[in-house]
Amino acid sequence: MTVPGPVVPDYAGDVLGRVMPAAAATLGVAAHGAPDWGLPTVDRVCVVLVDGLGYDNLADPATRAPFLKGALPGSRVLRAGFPTTTAVSMGSFGTGRPPGEHGLVGYDMLDPARDRILNGLRWAEGVDPVAWQPHPTVFGALDAAQVPSFRLGPDRFESSGLTEAALRGGSFVAATKLPDATRTAAELLHRHERALVYLYWGGVDYNGHTHGWRSRHWRDATAELDRLLAGLHRSLPTGTLLLVTADHGMLDLGHEFRHDLAGTPGLLTGVRHIAGETRCLQLHVEDGATRAVADAFAAEFGEQVWVRTRDEAVADGWFGPVVDERVLPRIGDVLVAAAVTDFGLVDSRVVDRKVLRLIGQHGSLTEPEQRVPFLVFLT
């Protein structure tokens, strides 16, 4: 069997990173990366990002989501960017820039200044999010234009490192439960004659990771989301634009399809740090060991993986057309991305047991992981 090549996004085309600039443009606010997607000019916009709701997951016949699925025919299908993981996608979503520019380049990524791994979701004390990601955000552009904007999500996100890096600007409104979030979104838009509301929801992603996206739990969570978003649409002021998208798709990966590097320690000869995640490792290696490590992984796993050195991945545009000098050392010297849907790499000696138990996975450059919906509703 010949495995198709990696799905490298066209970062100047239909990608997740252009959603917020497009939303700002409908309000007459210019932001970096704004596309010409033919959206109407409006006074109110509500942008909903559903963590983990890939296009293929939503379109599956067993997914119960009549409101969202009703908008799929003729809709724009976006690419998430690389790697297909939340921290990276949020960097693109919030700034309108590819990962090679904003610098959030993995779930786990190397902090070169401290020579240690930084988790993009949990962050770390002493790492300045604004220094890590210095580009202006779309919320900052809305602030400069004096257009009110509001970010709705769990209260723990308000001052998180990822929020400060990727989504700083506007006003944060805590909303832990989805019914509260949708109700608050509608209230805010009724209260303001011109505004943007952004709503994040992670419940679908949580159920996918924990139980698998084909599980009853995931389908129930998606059905509830669909019902509440349909209600939100009905409750928005007339003339409001509702945009729904996601940060990545998801695959179910049984434990039998995960290769544990603890069983083949020789493969890690010359490897100093393992970053990335199960579907896409980023290996930081000793000086002079890059080619040997890349060749060893390619020989061991064959067509199950796409192996690239950092220079090769950058040249191929995996992180975008440009990679800033400050960002380059954060990227692994060797990248090992899953090329087939039933493959992953873990190291049980260092990965948290809770993470090892997760079923739903993402991170690589396959179609199901890359494709995310972009659904447009006008009240």
CA distances to 89, 124, 161, 194, 231 from 121, in Å: 11, 9, 8, 31, 30
By the 8 A CB rule, do 199 and 20 touch? Answer: no
Q: Where are the domains of the chain?
A: 16-253+365-378, 255-360
Closest by CA position to 98, among listed 130, 143, 135: 135
DSSP 229-250: HHHHHHHSPTT-EEEEEES---
CATH number of 255-360: 3.30.1360.180
What is the rounded CA–CA span in Å between residue 152 and residue 162? 15
Q: Coil, strand, or helix at residue 357?
A: helix
Q: Whole-structure pTM over 0.95, yes or no? A: yes
pLDDT at res. 354: 84
3-state SS, residue 286: coil
Q: Give the model's pLDDT for residue 2.
A: 72
Same fold, 16-253+365-378 and 255-360: no
* The CATH number of the domain covering residues in 16-253+365-378: 3.40.720.10
Residue whose token pair is 């001052």: 159
CA distance 25 to 33: 10
Greatest Cα-to-Cα distance within the chain, rounded to the nearest angstrom: 63
pLDDT tens for each residue of the chain, 379 residues long? 577 899 999 999 999 999 999 999 999 999 999 999 999 999 999 999 999 999 999 999 999 999 999 999 999 999 999 999 999 999 999 999 999 999 999 999 999 999 999 999 999 989 999 999 999 999 999 999 999 999 999 999 998 999 999 999 999 999 999 999 999 999 999 999 999 999 999 999 999 999 999 999 999 999 999 999 999 999 999 999 999 999 999 999 999 999 999 999 899 999 999 999 999 999 999 999 999 999 999 999 999 999 999 999 999 999 999 999 999 999 999 999 999 999 999 999 988 888 889 999 999 999 999 999 999 999 9
pLDDT at 319: 98
What pLDDT does residue 1 have? 59
pLDDT for residue 228? 98
- Cis preceding linkage at 83, omega within 30: yes
Are the beta carbons of 91 and 165 closer than 8 angstroms? yes
Q: List, in sequence order, every residue forming a beta bridge with 242; answer none if it has no partner.
A: 46, 377
b/e per residue, 66-102, with b = 16+ CB within 10 A? ebbbebeeeeeebbbbbbbbbbbbbbbbbbbbbbbbb
